[in-house]
Structure 1
Amino acid sequence: MIDDGTSSRRRFLGTAMAAVATAGLAGCTGSTGQIQPEEPSEPREGSPEEFYYFLEDNDIAVEDLAREDDELFLTYDSDAADVEESDEEIMVIYEVYKLALIHRGSEIEFLYTEIADPFDGQAHGWGIDTEWVHRFDSEDDADEPGNESVTDETTNASAGNDSAGNESEGLDMDQVTLWSNIMNTKVYEDDVEAVGNETDANETAANATDDVLENESD
């Protein structure tokens, strides 16, 4: 069954809000914690440190990258002036994620992103489920996967992405589904507020239940 993005969007909202509630993405800690960029090794390791390096090498201004178990949390400063340019940045990040991590054998399962200081109408965050890479954009589809150049590939992807989200002539339908899934994870200001209100309501209900149980025990 093809994911329509709804479950992943909910997952992104829940996880992102949990991270923010516990000190924000910049303060996320886990089995690995904060990550710093490292120049790629030969052969490539497919590490989060190399992912960080290639993001910056492709003009993505990383503010913070952290790992918790098999998930990455990225905060970046967007240089986009409009939604189209913002989507081009998303495609670049996706290509780096695919080529620098997943096609290099990384076991990272999900990337959550937060856009620092978004403009009005820009998404506050979005995510990538690694399963989408395996299903719709696998290494087997690459002509020469062993010679993939992250910088070259992402530059070409950005330049040729004018209609990445449209079903234009000759566009691979797997790519359409992949792009649609990523776009469906976008989280906006209203979404964050709604999840925050729902969290507050759940906490209030939980506290009320605890009070009733305590009174009954007395």
Structure 2
Amino acid sequence: MTDDSLHSRRRFLGAAAGTATMAATAGCLGSVLSASNAVEPEQPTEPREGTPGEFYYFLEANDIEVDRLAEDDDELFLTYRSDAETVEESDDEIVVIYEIYKQALIHRGSEITFLYTEIANPFEGQALGWGINSEWVHRFDSPDEDADADEDPEDVEGNESVETEPAGDDSEGNETDGNETDETDNALDMNQITLWSNIMNTKVYQEDVDAVGADNETDATNATNATIADNASATDTGTESETEGDD
């Protein structure tokens, strides 16, 4: 995420810096969710085009109840209704949405840069929203060049984990090959751990919104999305510092 894009996003969202700023930007997300920006579900094409409409379609196909989806400046704004009754179940829903975002959009060549989500009916203690920076997908969860590109997000299930399936046991391989496989698996596991940690760190809770002083639904939505952006930026800065020089 570049400094310019982050500053632009913060200006657009109202940057949760205080009630005066929030009041000045009240309604900006409403314009994002206007009819001209609204996304409707669309039947996937063959080959897949990786459109927000296909993303919407696969969300519904995987029992994610979408209240609304909007697109603005290569960013998506999703509001969905959660069926979760526990934090673990809520995280399972996040996994499903992430996998669909990855498979239906990013691995299909979409230029969407960020997904903001808002949960329409959170239970007490559940996050109000969370986000995904597409750069994290490219960095930590991109397929190998030789991998099958025809993955189908219709196969996503709610109890899936973001952890990579371990490679099959090659009993005929020599000791060196086995060590190389272990190192590769460990690298994949660490990528998945980092990716999941990044997403979890974007979560926004009621106390975060209360701290801003939001006094209506629009202000609360702006505060949620601004905080997601700030959390993602802080997470991404730490990730870049840790991975610098790995290339």
1:131 matched residue in structure 2: 135
Q: How does 1:162-201 map to 2 (within 5 A)?
A: 172-196=189-213
CA contact (8 A) 1:35 1:65 kept: yes
CA contact (8 A) 1:112 1:126 kept: yes
**Aligned pair 1:55/2:59, yes or no?**
yes
| Aligned-pair CA distance for 1:15 | 6.1
2:232 matched residue in structure 1: none
In structure 2, list runs of 5 or more residues that go unmatched.
Answer: 1-5, 17-21, 165-184, 220-247
CA contact (8 A) 1:110 1:127 kept: yes
Residues matched between the structures, number: 178
CA contact (8 A) 2:92 2:160 kept: no
In structure 1, list runs of 5 or more residues that go unmatched.
Answer: 1-6, 200-218
| Aligned-pair CA distance for 1:139 | 2.7
Structure 2 residue identity aligned to 1:150: P
1:106 matched residue in structure 2: 110
Cα distance change of structure 1 residues 193 and 98 upon mapping to structure 2, 3 Å threshold: same
Distance 2:197 2:163 in 1: 12
2:242 matched residue in structure 1: none
Q: What TM-score do you get using the length of structure 2 for normalisation?
A: 0.64
CA contact (8 A) 1:65 1:73 kept: yes
Distance 1:81 1:16 in 2: 31
Cα distance change of structure 1 residues 57 and 26 upon mapping to structure 2, 3 Å threshold: farther
CA RMSD, 1 decimal:
3.0
Moved over 4 A (4+): 14-18, 24-27, 29-32
Distance 2:162 2:73 in 1: 35
Q: What TM-score do you get using the length of structure 1 for normalisation?
A: 0.72
Percent identical among aligned pairs is: 60
CA contact (8 A) 1:70 1:109 kept: yes
